[in-house]
Amino acid sequence: MTGPQPWSALLAAAERRLRAAAVEEADTKLRWVAAHLLGCGLADVFRHAAEIPTPEHAAAFAAAVERLATHEPVQYVIGETDFMGLRIRCDRRALIPRPETEVLTDHAEDFLRELPAPRVVDVCTGSGCIACALAKRVPHARVWGTDISADALDLARENARALGAAVEFRQTDLLTGFADDSMDMVIANPPYVSTADCARLARTVRDFEPHLALDGGVDGLRLISRLVSEAARVLTSGGKLLLEIAEDQAVVVPELLCAQTQLSLLSRKSDYAGNWRVVIAARNPR
């Protein structure tokens, strides 16, 4: 009978299992799981290679491998991810926070720091990652988060409590219920993938992440076009609108903004891969 196996043997066998299931980046995902169980960094997993895992860790690792073999995202498997230096809880109630959204949040933080008592609402908040990051990084700001999904808001509230982030969450459709001229900033990572492209997303996204948070309609602009109009209503004079967009929307979304006479396009920003990812507009003087 084979005795307990060290981490090196478990990782090697698990990688063969995942490669047979055509799971991409199998080795990296397995190190994420091992690091999570061991409470160490990815690079430190190798230091434990010769160690025999506890029975509890061995069982948890085996269960995680089976979930990964179905192409479930590793962030859902381990139940968390890093966003702006914060540990964000992740599960199928909301999209997984991504580095592209950190770019959006960075630019928002820069604007908010310049104001004495800013009011900001994160629309389509999902896991609450943007709202929580802004509340932690700009503590003098008053932060709201909205979503139409009650499940997503439950997760967002869990994250806010765990992080000690002062965020007020509301279940509402975009900015419904917010008064005119009441916000210094509207920020959003809305659904912007076209319905046709949703069907072509990677299996880890298509089969596991919430469709409601991905599908932006026939042209990907169904919510964005509405949000542009609603943001113009609730923003104060000079208030900022920051949107995450798809890389192929770098022309059409600015055109939407320019067509909204109450807003002026300020700039477009690229993500870490060099793709256009963020558009920034300002509310014209009233």
Instruction: Look at residue 1 in the predicted model and tell me its pLDDT.
Output: 42
Q: pTM to 2 decimals?
A: 0.95
pLDDT tens profile 8-36: 999 999 999 999 999 999 999 999 999 99
Is CATH 3.40.50.970 correct for 92-283?
no
Q: Evaluate whether 252 touches 208 at the Cβ level (below 8 Å).
A: no
pLDDT tens profile 112-127: 999 999 999 999 999 9
SS3 category, 171? strand
Token output for 212 = 């409601």
Buried b (16+ CB within 10 A) or exposed e, 180-196: eeebbbbbbbbbbbbee
Instruction: Look at residue 286 in the predicted model and tell me its pLDDT.
Output: 77
- Break the chain into its structural domains and give their ranges: 7-70, 92-283
Banded pLDDT at 278 (limits 50, 70, 90): very high
pLDDT tens profile 38-84: 999 999 999 999 999 999 999 999 999 999 999 999 999 999 999 99
